[in-house]
Structure 1
């Protein structure tokens, strides 16, 4: 007669995640995510940045249902009105509600920042990881190209690209992406240089893995956490560059409610109607600060020395 195994209760999810040893790769990954989340929420500055960004994204999504005014509608009878109960952030020189335009402008700003991160992040990661692993002539050519890009300030480089491509949101995203990938590539290369001589890379090479497979399956995943932190920290600079292009008339074009364009249209009224320029300027500052705080927190969370 054989003994029937007795199923032991697994306990709560929190106890399972806090188990001292991982019984499976799935549990190990879950424990790593749990520890990272705990470190993030205990970092007050990073958690505050995350909360502000979540609130901003929520407002950008539900913005049309929060205000009764049209983003493009003009009413010259209420132009340059100060903040009041009817218009919480006042009106601009064409009688448009500033709060409505700020909410719609958040969509444009976050969309541009997200597109730049999606374009520049993978390009920088692929170029840097490939250059660091392969070395040789590819490394020399790629890093000299990176040096050329880094020799110019990002805003000046973006201005040159958008001047050649023409004004507009799409061209501004391309121009900012072309100026944002070189720092990511240099960081990924530095990570790849330390990884390529590891024992598990040598073992995978002895098993017949091709250089492309080694880069895609082993080198790039190791470089990814540092790249994510770098992209998050660069988001503030990306937003400032996008606002700068809009301020100079090379980004989003009027009457689009982009924050940089709103700042440019309100600067001529700074002495008489300060809220026209102060409101989009405060929004740019708040989002940039939130990304910086979140990036600092992610750097602590993704640091392997904290495990």
Structure 2
């Protein structure tokens, strides 16, 4: 085989080799994740949550909006497994439909906030100088306020509603991602492969997109998974205060608010949605720990 033929063969085989390496890395990551039993439990719970939200019309025994005052505040029974609320609505049905609202809020915030934080943090860390100072001081201003209090201020200014609640949570959740992305960028920007890419003519935008962002993704994914519980609690807090999803939409925080007046005598009205929030938040935390073991070996527990 001539030298040119051998080179062409190696170049043609390179994509397949890289693909095999990626598949091998994914398989090894899955094996590491699977050994964490608690992480697997969290993943199973979240898969069940997604399936529940998708098949809510089929799984719900009653309409989440149908009122029956004759059955109001009924305890858990064969007819209503988790009881009924003050308007006679089936709590199980409202929890099932409320999973859609929860996943919508979590998914949207988890899509907007990390992307915004990644962009701001990498630009600040890569550009340096006055750009870094301005962007980080803006980040510090957002971090100076408790996230829920700042979200309350945004929602109060924009008006109650699930769309405004999602936007407020996204606008108050990006600063930690920006700080994390900046720290990662500062350790990468002077690396040899960045200098080599510059010599090949890569501009700042290409360096960010092709070289820096991929190296920041593992830390961002772990941080997002660990922050999901906080996002759920913040969304439930807005719903509890009447600033999130509006009636008659089923939302777990609003369901707790509806049941707080009956907590002493009819505990199930507030306890059931509270238990759902607890289980889902715990599942996200367990999943985040498992992802940290896979994607961030330096921070993995011994």
Q: Bin the TM-score by the shorter chain.
A: over 0.9
Q: Does 1:116 align with 2:109?
A: yes
Give distance in 2, aligned partners of 1:40 and 1:304. Answer: 12
Match of 1:51 in 2: 44
Structure 1 vs Structure 2 CA RMSD: 1.2
Give distance in 2, aligned partners of 1:235 and 1:40. Answer: 19
Match of 1:215 in 2: 208
Give distance in 1, aligned partners of 2:198 and 2:60. Answer: 60
Map Cα deviations across residues 39-86 of structure 1 (whole Å, 9 max, x no partner).
Answer: 111111111100100011111111211233111000111110000011
* Among candidates 192, 196, 199, match of residue 203 of structure 1: 196
Q: What is the TM-score when the length of structure 2 is the normalising length?
A: 0.92
Map Cα deviations across residues 131-187 of structure 1 (whole Å, 9 max, x no partner).
Answer: 111111111111001100001111001001111111000000000000000000000
Match of 2:7 in 1: none
Q: Does 1:275 align with 2:268?
A: yes
**1:304: how far off?**
5.0
Match of 1:11 in 2: none
- Equivalences for 1:177-196 in 2 at 5 Å? 177-196=170-189
Give distance in 2, aligned partners of 1:41 and 1:304. Answer: 15
Q: Check 1:289–1:231 CA distance in 2 against 1; reply closer, same or farther (3 A cut).
A: same
Match of 1:138 in 2: 131
Match of 1:163 in 2: 156
Match of 1:265 in 2: 258
Structure 1 stretches of at least 4 aligned residues deviating more than 4 Å after TM superposition? none
Q: Does 1:173 align with 2:174?
A: no
Q: What is the TM-score when the length of structure 1 is the normalising length?
A: 0.91
Q: Does 1:74 align with 2:67?
A: yes
Gaps (5+ residues) in structure 2? 1-14
* Among candidates 58, 61, 68, match of residue 54 of structure 2: 61
**1:221: how far off?**
0.7
Instruction: Answer 1 or 2: which has greater helix percent.
Output: 2
- Equivalences for 1:2-151 in 2 at 5 Å? 24-151=17-144
* Matched-pair contact (CA < 8 Å) for 2:59–2:96: no
* Matched-pair contact (CA < 8 Å) for 2:60–2:96: no
Give distance in 2, aligned partners of 1:138 and 1:291. Answer: 35
* Among candidates 279, 284, 287, match of residue 291 of structure 1: 284
Give distance in 2, aligned partners of 1:246 and 1:303. Answer: 34
Match of 1:238 in 2: 231
SS at match of 2:194: helix
Match of 1:3 in 2: none
SS at match of 2:55: helix
Give distance in 2, aligned partners of 1:111 and 1:66. Answer: 19
Give distance in 2, aligned partners of 1:295 and 1:146. Answer: 24
Give distance in 2, aligned partners of 1:298 and 1:66. Answer: 30
**1:33: how far off?**
0.5
Give distance in 1, aligned partners of 2:165 and 2:25. Answer: 38
